[in-house]
Amino acid sequence: MERRDKAFYQELYREWLSSGLKKSVFAANRGINRATFYYWCKKLEVVSEPISEPFTSFKRLAAL
């Protein structure tokens, strides 16, 4: 089995996002193990999610 680096999976992840295909179909079309592709998608989704305001339940007080 060939080992690939993070950059390879980042590029695949971007291609998958723009393809509109299901993950399983995309992985099969590219000849990649489905579980491996799911693993990298999960790993890259966590990194790429934008962080919104961390304390959204708090309200900003007006200045006096």
Asked if residue 22 has pLDDT above 60, the reply is yes
What mean pLDDT do residues 7-28 have?
A: 92
Q: In whole angstroms, give the CA distance from residue 28 to residue 32.
A: 6
Q: 29 — phi, psi (to 5°)?
A: -65, -35
SS (H, E, C) 3-51: CCCHHHHHHHHHHHHHHCCCHHHHHHHHCCCHHHHHHHHHHHHHHHCCC
Asked if residue 26 has pLDDT above 90, the reply is yes
Which pTM does this prediction carry?
Answer: 0.64
